Each structure stands twice: as C-alpha cells, then as structure tokens.
Amino acid sequence: METVVAVLVGVLMASSVYLMLRRNLVRFVLGLALISHTANLLIFSSGGLHGTFPPLVPPGELVPGDGAANALPQALILTAIVISFSVFAFLLVLAFRTYQRLETADPDSMRSAEPVIAAGRIDGSASGGRQ
C-alpha cells in the first residue's frame, strides 16, 4: 500500500509543478492547491498506513497499544489543511482582483503593472538621491 501512495504522491507532485509552470494565473492557483494536498498526503503516509485502531489511551495505561495509528501526522495535516485553505482563498481573491484590474490571466501580460524605469538611470530608482 505504501508503494501505491508513494507513486500517487509523485504523480500529484509532478502534476502540480506542471500546472504551476503554465502561463496562466488560474492554473498556477490550482497547481498550488494541488501541491498542498500532495504535501498533506505525504505527511499522512509518513506516519504509516498500518494503524488498525485510533490512538486512544486505555484507562490505567500511559501509552496506546501496539498497532495504534500515529496521532502526530494527523494533527499536522489538520493544521496544514486550515493553512492551505486560507492561502488558497487569499490567492483566489488576489487572482480575481488582478484579473479585474489588468483584464488578463497571462503573467507575461501583467508587466504593465510594474513601475517604469527611468531612461538613462543605471540604479533604476525613480527618486533623486544624494551624490
């Protein structure tokens, strides 16, 4: 089972990198969401897929019994899900506002939002400095 999950993580990671390298802002955002889900799956599989019962400590004992699922990857994934959802929501709003303002989803066409460098200046600063 671990081999199947490892191959799945590799395919999802390659797909997300492919989407992030495309010349479209929407595909970049979707690739970033996919890479966060891939990271969650990687953390989950690092804890092992052999747990047969939840990691509950029986009364009178200090540790859960053998074969219990590892609770640390589960806690890390819950935190990562919340963070990735908030980053995804922020990027969706940012991409939408960028599209509204610049009327394009092509990152190369978004260069019109960059400041113009004054001609003849080597340092590229627009304000005059002391000599």
Q: Is 25 exposed, middle or buried (0-12, 13-18, 19+ CB in 10 A)?
A: buried
Q: Per-residue pLDDT for 131 more than 80?
A: no
CATH domain 2-50+69-107 topology: Helix Hairpins (1.10.287)
Predicted local distance difference test score (pLDDT) of residue 29: 92
Does this model's pTM top 0.75? no
Specify the pLDDT at position 36.
94
Residue 51's pLDDT is 63
Q: Domains of the chain: which residue ranges?
A: 2-50+69-107
Is residue 31 within 8 A of residue 20, CB to CB? The reply is yes
Q: How does pLDDT run across 23-70, given as a tens digit for each residue?
A: 888 899 999 999 999 999 998 888 777 767 777 888 888 888 777 777
Mean pLDDT, rounded, of the chain: 84
